């Protein structure tokens, strides 16, 4: 053990949480599905759970987390993506170590389509209509799965004949995807920054998450309603709200009651977001958030399969797979990031960097 307090972090990819923990003054012990090079570099220990690539619904972490919590005297677990469809796993983990985030009940509420739709109506937030029976015009609908993340669970309604387990219909809204990263304590919601987001479509996943850039301007008039909604859900700590801007109004699609994709984008040494997260959970007062610098990040996916060679990764690459790792077609290679004098410059730079990575790893054509 070293002299720093320790945090357990868990997610399909726990690298961003581990780096954020270190930035906030903690050592990290990570549980994730990849064990990338920079995850290992940021952690005291990294436990790779390859069967967690699709989430933790079929992975029981309780015993492993209990052992590490005792050995390292960790103060608790901060979780990321992977538990949205299985809040009962978080409830099990909570028997082994303090859960440093929204409760399992809050996760369940945020991912319950009916509860969420009613809570949006109560808070007077526009939310696309949902249904559980096939609509007359499926062409204008999407099919979503409860607890899905990263856009991988969203299908075009025109391609669907019947719903699968935990799926539902949702009206399709055309518009720009934007997201608000915020922190929630028991009293109030504090906005951190707005971002714009884009997709990386592929066969079977037309709404797969691609990347984000910010900060951008967002509608401050929605904050009171969002505060009411997050209180009803029970959200605590760092979280995000995803909207579609159709040019006339903002439609709330979902609330992620945990640190999400833009943690990387807006975490800064001068204002560590995980410190804000823990302070919000303890209802400690914090100074107003600092303005964020323009930046962008993008997940780079491969169109083929290949084995990662020995390669010197540029310093703007995160989630770096180890040499010898087999990357299958459609899977993420890594994440690239860029800063700029403004958001459009950062986006252009990150796009060029993503193209460079795709060119470097052309694959074996499988």
Residues 204 and 62 in one domain: no
Residues 62 and 173 in one domain: no
Residues 193 and 54 in one domain: no
Contact between 45 and 64 under an 8 Å Cβ cutoff? The reply is no
| C-alpha span between 221 and 225 (Å, rounded) | 8
| C-alpha span between 41 and 195 (Å, rounded) | 28
User: For 152-175, what is each residue's pLDDT tens digit?
Assistant: 678 777 677 677 778 888 999 999
Predicted confidence at residue 146, as pLDDT, reads: 80
Of residues 137 and 201, more confidently modeled = 201
Q: Is pLDDT above 70 for 2?
A: no
Number of domains making up the chain: 3
> Confidence band (pLDDT; 50, 70, 90) for 364?
very low
Of residues 143 and 353, more confidently modeled = 353
Residues 182 and 55 in one domain: no
Please give the full DSSP string across 293-360, using - where no structure is assigned.
Answer: PPEEEEEEE-SS-EE--S----TTEES-PPTTPEEPTTSEEEEEEEE-SSHHHHHHHHHHHHHHHHHH
Residues 60 and 14 in one domain: yes
Residues 235 and 91 in one domain: no
158, two tokens: 């025109």
Residues facing residue 216 across a β-bridge: 194
User: For 115-128, what is each residue's pLDDT tens digit?
Assistant: 999 999 999 999 99
Residue 205 belongs to domain spanning: 108-281
Predicted confidence at residue 150, as pLDDT, reads: 62
Residues 274 and 148 in one domain: yes
Q: Is pLDDT above 50 for 211?
A: yes
Residues 128 and 229 in one domain: yes
> Confidence band (pLDDT; 50, 70, 90) for 3?
low
Predicted confidence at residue 161, as pLDDT, reads: 65
| C-alpha span between 243 and 251 (Å, rounded) | 5
- CATH number for the domain including 196? 3.30.470.20
Cis peptide before 98 (omega within 30 of 0): no
Residues 306 and 164 in one domain: no
Q: Determine phi and psi for 286, rounding to 5 degrees.
A: -135, 155
Predicted confidence at residue 1, as pLDDT, reads: 44
Residue 365 lies in a domain: no
| C-alpha span between 41 and 31 (Å, rounded) | 14
User: For 216-227, what is each residue's pLDDT tens digit?
Assistant: 999 999 999 999
User: For 239-263, what is each residue's pLDDT tens digit?
Assistant: 999 999 999 999 999 999 999 999 9
Residues facing residue 287 across a β-bridge: none
User: For 11-27, what is each residue's pLDDT tens digit?
Assistant: 999 999 999 999 999 99
In three-state secondary structure terms, 119 is helix
Residues 81 and 128 in one domain: no
Taking the mean position of all CA atoms in its chain, how far away is CA 160?
26
Residue 1 lies in a domain: no
Residues 213 and 122 in one domain: yes
Q: Is pLDDT above 90 for 147?
A: no
DSSP one-letter code for 140: G
Listed in order, strand segments (DSSP E) in 108-188 are: 130-131, 141-145, 155-156, 167-171, 176-184
Contact between 258 and 184 under an 8 Å Cβ cutoff? The reply is no
In three-state secondary structure terms, 274 is helix
Predicted confidence at residue 240, as pLDDT, reads: 98
User: For 312-327, what is each residue's pLDDT tens digit?
Assistant: 999 999 999 999 999 9
Q: Is pLDDT above 50 for 4?
A: yes
Q: Is pLDDT above 70 for 365?
A: no
User: For 64-97, what is each residue's pLDDT tens digit?
Assistant: 898 887 776 789 999 999 999 999 999 999 999 9
Residues facing residue 191 across a β-bridge: 182
168, two tokens: 């539902």
User: For 180-196, what is each residue's pLDDT tens digit?
Assistant: 999 999 999 999 999 99
The rounded percent of the chain whose pLDDT value lies above 70 is: 95
130-137 long-range contacts, CB within 8 A, separation 24+: 130/168, 130/169, 130/170, 130/171, 131/168, 131/169, 131/170, 132/163, 132/168, 132/169, 133/169, 134/162, 134/163, 134/169, 135/169
Residues 50 and 172 in one domain: no
- pTM for this entry: 0.94
User: For 280-311, what is each residue's pLDDT tens digit?
Assistant: 999 999 999 999 999 999 999 999 999 999 99
Residue partners of 29: CB distance under 8 A and separation at least 6? 6, 7, 8, 9, 43, 44, 45, 46, 47, 68, 72, 74
Query: Mean pLDDT for the chain?
Result: 92
Predicted confidence at residue 366, as pLDDT, reads: 41
């Amino acid at each position: 053990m070293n002299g720093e307090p320790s945090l357990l972090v868990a997610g399909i990819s726990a690298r961003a949480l581990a780096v954020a923990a270190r930035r906030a003054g903690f050592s990290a012990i990570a549980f994730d599905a990849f064990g990338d090079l920079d995850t290992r570099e940021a952690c005291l220990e990294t436990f790779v759970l390859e069967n967690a690539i699709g989430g933790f619904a079929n992975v029981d972490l309780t015993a492993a987390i209990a052992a590490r919590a005792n050995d390292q005297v960790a103060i608790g677990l901060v979780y990321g993506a992977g538990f949205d469809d299985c809040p009962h796993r978080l409830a099990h983990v909570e028997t082994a170590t303090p859960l440093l985030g929204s409760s399992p009940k809050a996760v369940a509420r945020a991912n319950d389509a009916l509860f969420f739709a009613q809570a949006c109506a109560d808070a007077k937030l526009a939310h696309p209509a949902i249904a559980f029976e096939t609509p007359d015009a499926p062409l204008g609908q999407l099919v979503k799965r409860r607890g899905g993340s990263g856009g991988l669970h969203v299908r075009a309604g025109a391609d669907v004949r019947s719903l699968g387990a935990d799926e539902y219909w949702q009206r399709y809204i055309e518009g720009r995807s934007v997201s608000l990263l915020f922190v929630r304590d028991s009293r109030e919601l504090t906005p951190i920054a707005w971002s714009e987001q884009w997709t990386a479509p592929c066969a079977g996943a037309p709404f797969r998450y691609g990347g984000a850039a910010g900060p951008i301007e967002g509608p401050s008039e929605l904050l009171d309603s969002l505060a009411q909604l997050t209180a009803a859900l029970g959200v605590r700590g760092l979280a995000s709200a995803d909207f579609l801007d159709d040019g006339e109004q903002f439609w709330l699609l979902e609330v992620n009651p945990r640190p999400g994709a833009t943690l990387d984008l807006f975490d800064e040494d001068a204002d560590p977001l995980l410190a804000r997260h823990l302070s919000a959970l303890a209802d400690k007062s914090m100074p107003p958030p600092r303005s964020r610098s323009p930046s962008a990040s993008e997940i780079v996916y491969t169109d083929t399969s290949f084995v990662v060679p020995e390669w010197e990764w540029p310093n703007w690459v995160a989630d770096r797979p180890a040499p010898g790792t087999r990357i299958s077609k459609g899977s993420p290679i890594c994440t690239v990031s860029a800063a700029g004098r403004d958001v459009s410059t950062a986006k252009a730079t990150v796009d060029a960097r993503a193209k460079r990575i795709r060119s470097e790893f052309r694959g074996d054509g499988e």
